[in-house]
Amino acid sequence: MEGVPHSYLLGHLAVTGKLLGQYPGDVFPSGICTLALRQFPHLEKNGFILFDAWPFIDPMIYMFDPDISAQFTQLHSLPKSKDLKSEFRPLTSSKDLVTLDGPKWKFWRKSGEVLKIERPATSLTIDVIARSVLYGFALFTLLGMAIWWLTPDCTPPSLLKILNPIRPILQWYYNCVIHNALAPFIRQNLSTQADGSTANNEIKTVLSLAARAYLAEKPQTSSTQSNHEFASLAIPHLVMFLFAGHDTTAITLCFAYHLLHKHPSALARLCDEHDAVLGPDPSLTEPQLTRNPQLLNALPYTAAVIKKTLRLFAPAATNSHATHHLASLFPRPWEFLPERFLAAEGEELYVRKNAFRPFELGPRACIGQELAMLELKMILVVTVRVFDIESYPNGAPPGGPGRLGTYPVGHITGHPKDGIAG
């Protein structure tokens, strides 16, 4: 089977360097498979590409055929690699939903069923206040620093991090501070759930649901033992929740604003939908949704805009980047066509099964995807009719080919280059 030209000495490092050399040096590497298919289009028939970047990282297979991807994510839930577990061990001790396998993963993931939001409209203001009151800005800053010192295989390894002698010390320090910040809220939640003092209309958080599931599993455990054991179990999951969602929604929102500015007809149609469903006065949007939160489900074009943004600029995806940009799966792949996600089967733009996978599919799919979609809908609903989206100031970087005027950069997640001017 044909593949990317390989060197016995350098593997695919030379080819990878040439591919990335066509783009700015800080481009987020999620598009490496897409670049390879541009250079070697005959490889599309394989459905996957092998990249050998040893000794920096182990050889990896990038799958872009939806049916092949389904074999690994939907038909079979394969164990996580040892490399992934070792990379996140400094942050979560490899005891989180992303890196766990087997019965332990199933126990924590099964409670995800109740993460479906009882009232699908949650105010962005409440979310910001909750983050400020419960965790504080300092925690997110420290979490960001702890994440920065990781060296995950989705980004080129940094010798500065790998060889820095103080790296283990800093990781230990940030983890201690994060643990000390989260532990009081964990103990409080467990105590509240144990004495049954919660109200029926209590807002269900990840933490309260986890505490309830833990107490149901071990009702006879002593209070002191419960506090210690539950904290050791819950903190890795909470850290991973914060890690996985700490900026992905903001990234998607920035790129959505960028694309809407570049396509005023789409912005106009989006505003028309909001006027039709929520009324022409944007100041009444919040009370409207408070009374009838199900209205968020009546915004198909808004959902299509979000999905289109995720297709072009998935915040943290490598395999799906190539899948999302194959003309055989997505005709006119570089165009901003929200209508693609409204097309019926048989139409040119119809999105076939398993092709759209920014959150991945199968049992290991992103547990927060429903919350992310609702949050993005809510933010667009309360902003696009109120704020004007303007061009970046003069002197902004032009971006790379096919990048619609900007491109993602960053570590672990792809942020807009130089930010998005507001």
Q: Which residues are annotated as part of the binding site for heme? A: 366
CA distance linking residue 325 with residue 310, whole number of Å: 12
DSSP one-letter string for 39-63: H-GGGGGGSEEEE--TTTS--EEEE
CA distance linking residue 78 with residue 203, whole number of Å: 34
How far is the first Cα of the chain from the last one, in angstroms, to the nearest whole number?
A: 49
Structure tokens at 55: 């000794």
Q: Which long-range contacts (CB under 8 A, 24 or more apart) does 342-348 make?
A: 342/300, 342/301, 342/304
Among 234, 94, 230, smallest CA distance to 178 is for: 234
Among 42, 31, 62, 32, smallest CA distance to 2 is for: 42
CB atoms within 10 A of CB 37: 21
CB atoms within 10 A of CB 132: 11
Task: Please answer whether residues 64 and 37 qualify as being in contact, where contact means their C-beta atoms are separated by less than 8 angstroms.
Answer: yes
Task: Please answer whether residues 43 and 328 qualify as being in contact, where contact means their C-beta atoms are separated by less than 8 angstroms.
Answer: no
In sequence order, the β-bridge partners of residue 409 are 27, 415
Annotated binding-site residue numbers: 366
